[in-house]
């Protein structure tokens, strides 16, 4: 157990009072910026970097990492309370989280999310400690064909998890894929749907789309509702999940942890697909899938656990290969340069205290978040008691401010307004924003990895079947796509048989005797 | 009581939001009509066309830090990503030339990107006054460990090469396309979104080689997970002294990422001198020099006029090279 020593030493480092204080500072700042959708952790960390010059490297990194996961929890808060998912991995949380909040159970949703995040993070840390060297190669084996297959599977899941009519979900997803093509073509430099506007050259950012469709669209819709009927203000019943809620969520938290751990290892898109898969799995195994989208606790527990576990296991590529999993990680470890520490594959051996200090601070940070969440949830849920006339403009303001901060651009603010109007109209005609937003996120991944695959595989897509991981994913894709068709076909056959039986035995006025009954069935069918 | 709690919560959220937004845009209140004599009359903004945390952003912050001390005014970095920096550059070029609005330029936007995008999106130095050249970030061609490539001859000996680039219209793409054309290597370019995924793809042997910036590749080179083949700088890079340059191997393809500080065209001469002076002071600080060292940046501290001349001639040279070898950066 010698290899555990640095891990334990890492805990010692985190538990020093100064480090604990900076960790607390980090998660608090993180939680606050998480509430503002546009200003992500990456930008905040870059801005706050000078604050860390004067302190020890470990302390600095602990605070910066705290901002990173504090922001994730802050994003959960706005997803549940205000229907504002700040990050792609929080989109599915909105489906049931916001419904729970509407039913006065915001505390349940936030509490389950906090517990799920804590458990998911813990499981992932244990996995990271023991399995990291074993699973590291996984990230490198994921080339363009594997990402293409994964994105394809993800888009299929989008259709599965939608709670409304399937056709509408597919249409919305198709629109999302189309929106993902806006911008300069990454392979030829050609302009696509930019109308000569340079602000569109990089495509549309996730934040204006999600904020507009979810947040502003909902505000507009609610204002109209209120005009029609005087609705009693939302009552806040319970502030903490009940024993029953915990019991229902426990398996979801378990599954989410494992799912999140493995998908999180993939740099780029891992956390989003993890949350999506977490939701899809819960819906699939539920006894009554119709509860989903109407406030199912597992619908919050599964994805929230998964995206947190994924965020933790995203340290693995960094630990073993020196690859930062996302922009925030890249900046955090770029910050190390200023402190004279070179990030890279040698980091773990050269600075074990630093590495494990950061990883374990994540654990302590999660614990702090959980402790802070208990009293704060009570405060947060009261936001819902604020009258809509006050809450709606404030929400709109936060949304617009958030959109502006992404790249200091008024154009993005305009985009929020446009997508808000679209979101409102979509809701009026019964489209949910979820499939569109998720397909939009995955569309970019699908397009670039598919085209990259074609280049790598010399234009022969069948080459995907020659690589074990992509072949497995493609087979899984076909199974998920075809299984419901076969199932409904079999169901129909059984029904046919029943109808047959009924026709055969029941009295058939006007039917000539001796006519084979299946002729009738065909005519009737 | 409940009402007050609620209100306080909401107010504090709003206050936090307001505070953060001010921090984010860096209190952009400077400007106004400045008399050259009393420059700077307010805070100076450096607009960066890349996201926070990238090397361009970090350079802007390092230079801004030193300039602020010299000018006695806050120097704030404003990130306005979009179209490889074209959005930010065009925006700043349209602002008042009073010295309070600066932009940090990447040479590739001026010298290489125009080869890949339509004419109305191409950015030139015509609307800008360059104040000071800062540094150069060298490109290095690396090969995956699995490919076994040790030098260019090994690559020439292979039949079917796929190579990663950091995107269309980048130095990474241009350098490799020209090199492989001159060396008679038949390869397929696979563009990635930036350096990090391209490097990861080489490590996993998804592509056999790629060209990325040295700062990114160095830790992997040191760890032995990728093999450096050559750099594209004019002289050997001090951080990679054993790796040959393309020039000494007989391929004259000088491609580096240069960075410079610029302002809108028409800056009063005194203001320009004052800015150059403060930039010089910033570059002379120990903090800035160790920043360069830590980020493997080679100082390339030339005057604004020299930058304009150098970049314009590089732009023409690249256009010739592309034409000579019948290369299309857009893949058409």
For A379-390, write each residue's pLDDT tens digit. Answer: 777 777 777 778
pLDDT of residue A415: 93
pLDDT at position A227, please? 59
* Residue at B181 is within a domain: yes
Residue B128 and residue B65 share a domain: yes
Final residue before a domain boundary, out of B255, B278, B307: B255
Rounded to an integer, the average pLDDT of A315-344 is 71
Q: Quick one: pLDDT at residue B34? A: 45
Residues B86 and B151 reside in one and the same domain: no
Whether A418 has a pLDDT exceeding 80, the answer reads yes
B22 close to A (CB below 8 A):
no
pLDDT greater than 90 at residue A355: no
* Whole-angstrom distance, CA of residue A502 vs CA of residue A499: 5
* Residues B179 and B212 reside in one and the same domain: yes
Which residues in chain A (286-305) have CB-CB distances under 8 A to chain B?
A: none
**Boundary (domain end) residue, out of B255, B275, B306:** B255
Tell whether B241 and B261 lie within a shared domain.
no
Query: What is the per-residue pLDDT across B242-274, written as a single tens digit (0 to 9) for each?
Result: 999 999 999 999 999 999 999 999 999 999 999
Question: How many angstroms separate the CA of residue B235 from the nearest CA in chain A?
Answer: 25
Q: What's the mean pLDDT in A168-178?
A: 91
Residue range A362-407, pLDDT digits in tens: 777 878 888 887 777 777 777 777 777 788 888 888 888 888 887 8
pLDDT at B14: 44
Q: How far is A245 from chain B (nearest CA, A)?
A: 27
A521 has a pLDDT exceeding 50: no
Inside any domain, residue B330: no
Name the residue in chain B with its Cα closest to that of A401: B21
Q: What is the CATH number of the domain that holds B244?
A: 3.40.190.10
Measured between CA atoms, how close is B274 to chain A, in angstroms?
26
B273 in the same domain as B130: yes
- pLDDT of B102: 96
The answer to whether A108 and A100 have CB atoms below 8 angstroms apart is: yes
Chain A residue numbers touching B160 (CB-CB < 8 A) = 458
Check residues B16 and B230 and name the one with the higher pLDDT.
B230
Examine the fold and report which residue of B230, B255, B280 is the final residue of a domain before the chain moves on.
B255
What pLDDT score was predicted for residue B21? 43
Chain B residue at shortest CA distance from A448 = B192
CA B294, B299, B304, B306 dihedral sign is negative
Q: Which of A28, A1, A4, A13 is nearest to A368 (CA)?
A: A28
Q: Which of A35, A215, A328, A407 to mutate to test the interface with B (most CBs of B within 10 A)?
A: A407
Q: How many angstroms away from the CA of B106 is the closest CA of chain A?
A: 17
Compute the average pLDDT of residues B86-105.
Answer: 93
Task: Flag whether B18 is in a domain.
Answer: no
DSSP code string of A108-170? HHHHHHHHHHHHHHHHHHHHHHHHHHHHHHHHHH--HHHHHHHHHHHHHHHHHH--S-HHHHH
Best mutation target among B19, B20, B295 (most A Cβ atoms within 10 Å) is B20
* pLDDT > 70 in chain B, percent: 88
Please give the pLDDT value at position A176.
Answer: 93
Give A452-488 pLDDT, tens digit per residue. Answer: 999 999 888 888 888 988 999 899 888 888 887 787 7
Residue B51: pLDDT over 70:
yes
Q: Which 253-282 residues of chain A touch chain B by CB within 8 A?
A: 267-268
Do residue B10 and residue A383 have CB atoms under 8 angstroms apart?
yes
Look at residue A511 in the predicted model and tell me its pLDDT.
41
Beta carbons of B121 and A327 less than 8 Å apart: no
> Does A502 have pLDDT greater than 80?
no
Residue B325: inside a domain, yes or no?
no
Three-state DSSP state, A199: helix
Quick check: A520 pLDDT over 80?
A: no
Structural domain harbouring B87? 35-137+256-320
pLDDT of residue B138: 94
Which of B82, B197, B219 is facing A346, going by the closest CB pair? B219
Domain assignment present for residue B184? The answer is yes
Does residue B324 carry a pLDDT above 70? Answer: yes
Give the side-chain half-sphere CA count within 13 A for B257: 26
Interface of B with A in 41-80 (CB under 8 A): 51-53, 57-58, 61, 65, 78-80
Give pLDDT, residue A350: 75
* Average pLDDT for A72-79: 82
- Interacting residues of A342 by C-beta distance below 8 A, sequence separation 6+: A336, B218, B219
B309: CATH: 3.40.190.150
- pLDDT grade for B180, boundaries at 50, 70 and 90: very high
pLDDT at A232 exceeding the cut of 80: no
Q: How confident is the model at residue A2 (pLDDT cuts 50, 70, 90)?
A: low
pLDDT of residue B283: 96
Indicate if B142 and B236 belong to the same structural domain: yes
In this predicted structure, the answer to whether residue A510 has a pLDDT above a threshold of 60 is: no
What is the average pLDDT across A208-222?
87
Token pair for residue A260?
Answer: 């999140």
Same domain for B270 and B132: yes
> Could A144 and B332 be called an inter-chain contact, meaning their C-beta atoms sit closer than 8 Å?
no
Q: Which of B205, B221, B231, B191 is nearest to B147 (CA)?
A: B205
In a shared domain, residues B199 and B61: no
- CB-nearest to A344 from B51, B162, B220 is B220
Is B237 among the domain residues? Answer: yes
Q: Average the pLDDT over A69-75 and give the result.
A: 81
Specify the range with the lowest mean pLDDT, choosing from A221-235, A288-302, B89-103, B118-132. A221-235
End-to-end CA distance of chain B: 69
Does residue B20 lie in a domain region? no
Mean pLDDT over residues B8-18, rounded? 43
Q: Does residue B187 register a pLDDT over 50?
A: yes
pLDDT tens for each residue of A113-159: 888 988 998 888 888 877 876 777 777 888 899 999 988 888 888 87
Q: Do B197 and A199 touch (CB under 8 A)?
A: no
Number of structural domains in chain B = 2
Same domain, B57 and B193: no
Residue B217 included in any domain: yes
Q: What is the structure's pLDDT at A258? A: 92
Judgement on whether residues B163 and B177 belong to the same structural domain of the protein: yes
Residue A39's pLDDT band (cuts 50, 70, 90): low
Residues B46 and B125 in one domain: yes
Q: Kindly state whether residues B153 and B130 are assigned to the same domain.
A: no
pLDDT confidence bin for A344, thresholds 50/70/90? low
């Amino acid at each position: 157990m010698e290899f555990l020593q640095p891990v334990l030493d890492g805990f010692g480092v985190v538990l020093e009072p100064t480090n604990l204080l900076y960790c607390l500072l980090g998660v608090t700042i993180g939680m606050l910026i998480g509430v503002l959708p546009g200003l992500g952790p990456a930008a905040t960390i870059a801005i706050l970097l000078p604050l860390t010059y004067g302190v020890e490297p470990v302390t600095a990194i602990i605070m910066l990492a705290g901002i990173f996961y504090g922001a994730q929890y802050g994003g959960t808060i706005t997803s549940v309370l205000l229907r504002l998912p700040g990050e792609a991995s929080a989109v599915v949380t909105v489906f049931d989280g916001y419904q729970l909040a509407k039913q006065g159970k915001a505390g349940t949703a936030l509490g389950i999310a906090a517990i799920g995040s804590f458990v998911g993070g813990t499981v992932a840390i244990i996995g990271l400690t023991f399995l990291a060297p074993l699973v590291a190669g996984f990230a490198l084996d994921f080339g363009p064909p594997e990402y293409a297959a994964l994105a394809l599977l993800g888009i299929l899941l989008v259709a599965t998890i939608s709670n409304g009519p399937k056709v509408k979900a597919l249409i919305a997803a198709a629109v999302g894929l189309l929106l993902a093509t806006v911008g300069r073509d990454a392979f030829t430099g050609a302009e696509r749907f930019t109308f000569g506007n340079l602000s569109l050259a990089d495509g549309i950012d996730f934040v204006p789309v999600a904020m507009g469709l979810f947040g502003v669209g909902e505000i507009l819709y609610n204002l109209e509702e209120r005009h029609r009927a005087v609705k009693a203000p939302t009552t806040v019943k319970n502030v903490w999940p009940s024993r029953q809620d915990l019991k229902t969520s426990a398996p979801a938290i378990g599954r989410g942890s494992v799912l999140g751990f493995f998908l999180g290892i993939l740099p780029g898109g891992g956390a989003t697909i993890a949350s999506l898969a977490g939701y899809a799995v819960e819906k699939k195994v539920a006894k009554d899938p119709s509860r989903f989208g109407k406030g199912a606790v597992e619908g919050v527990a599964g994805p929230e656990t998964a995206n947190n576990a994924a965020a933790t296991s995203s340290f693995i590529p960094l630990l073993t290969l020196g690859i930062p999993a996302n922009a925030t990680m890249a900046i955090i470890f770029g910050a190390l340069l200023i402190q004279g520490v070179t990030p890279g594959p040698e980091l773990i051996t050269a600075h074990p205290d630093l590495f494990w200090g950061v990883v374990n601070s994540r654990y302590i940070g999660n614990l702090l978040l959980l402790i802070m969440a208990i009293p704060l949830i009570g405060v947060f849920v009261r936001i819902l008691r604020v009258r809509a006339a006050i809450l709606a403009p404030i929400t709109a303001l936060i949304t617009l401010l958030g959109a502006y901060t992404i790249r200091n651009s008024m154009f993005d603010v305009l985009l929020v307004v446009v997508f808000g109007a679209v979101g409102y109209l979509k809701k009026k005609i019964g489209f949910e924003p979820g499939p569109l937003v998720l397909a939009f996120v995955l569309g970019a991944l699908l397009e670039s990895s598919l085209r990259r695959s074609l280049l790598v595989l010399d234009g022969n897509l069948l080459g995907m079947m020659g690589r074990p991981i992509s072949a497995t994913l493609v087979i899984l894709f076909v199974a998920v796509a075809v299984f419901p068709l076969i199932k409904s076909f079999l169901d129909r056959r059984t029904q046919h048989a029943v109808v047959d039986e009924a026709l055969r035995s029941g009295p058939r006025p006007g039917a000539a005797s001796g006519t084979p009954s299946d002729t009738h069935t065909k005519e009737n069918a | 009581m409940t009402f007050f709690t609620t209100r306080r919560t909401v107010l504090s959220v709003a206050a936090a939001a307001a505070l953060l937004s001010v921090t984010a845009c860096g209190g952009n209140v400077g400007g106004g009509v400045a008399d050259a004599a009393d420059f700077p009359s307010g805070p100076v903004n450096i607009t960066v066309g890349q996201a926070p945390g990238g090397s361009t952003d970090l350079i802007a912050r390092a230079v801004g830090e030193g300039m602020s001390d010299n000018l006695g005014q806050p120097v704030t970095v404003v990130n306005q990503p979009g179209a490889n920096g074209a959005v930010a550059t065009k925006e700043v070029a349209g602002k008042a030339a009073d010295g309070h609005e600066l932009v940090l330029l990447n040479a590739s936007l001026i010298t290489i990107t125009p080869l890949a995008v339509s004419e109305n999106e191409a950015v030139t130095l015509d609307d800008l006054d360059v104040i000071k050249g800062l540094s150069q970030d060298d490109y290095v061609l690396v090969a995956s460990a699995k490919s076994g490539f040790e030098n260019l001859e090994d690559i020439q000996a292979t039949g079917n090469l796929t190579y990663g680039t950091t995107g269309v219209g980048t130095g990474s793409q241009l350098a490799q396309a020209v090199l492989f054309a001159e060396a008679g290597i038949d390869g397929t370019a696979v563009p990635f979104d930036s350096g990090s995924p391209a490097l990861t793809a080489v490590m996993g042997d998804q592509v056999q080689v790629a060209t990325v910036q040295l700062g990114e590749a160095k830790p992997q080179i040191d760890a032995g997970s990728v093999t450096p083949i050559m750099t594209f700088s004019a002289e050997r890079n001090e951080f990679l002294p054993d790796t040959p340059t393309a020039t000494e191997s007989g391929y004259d393809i000088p491609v580096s990422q240069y960075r410079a500080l610029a302002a809108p065209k028409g800056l009063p001469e005194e203001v320009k001198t004052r800015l150059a002076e403060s930039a010089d002071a910033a570059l002379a600080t120990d903090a800035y020099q160790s920043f360069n060292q830590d980020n493997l940046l080679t100082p390339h501290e030339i005057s604004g006029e020299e930058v304009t001349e150098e970049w314009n001639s590089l732009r023409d040279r690249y256009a010739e090279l592309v034409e000579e070898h019948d290369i299309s950066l857009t893949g058409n």
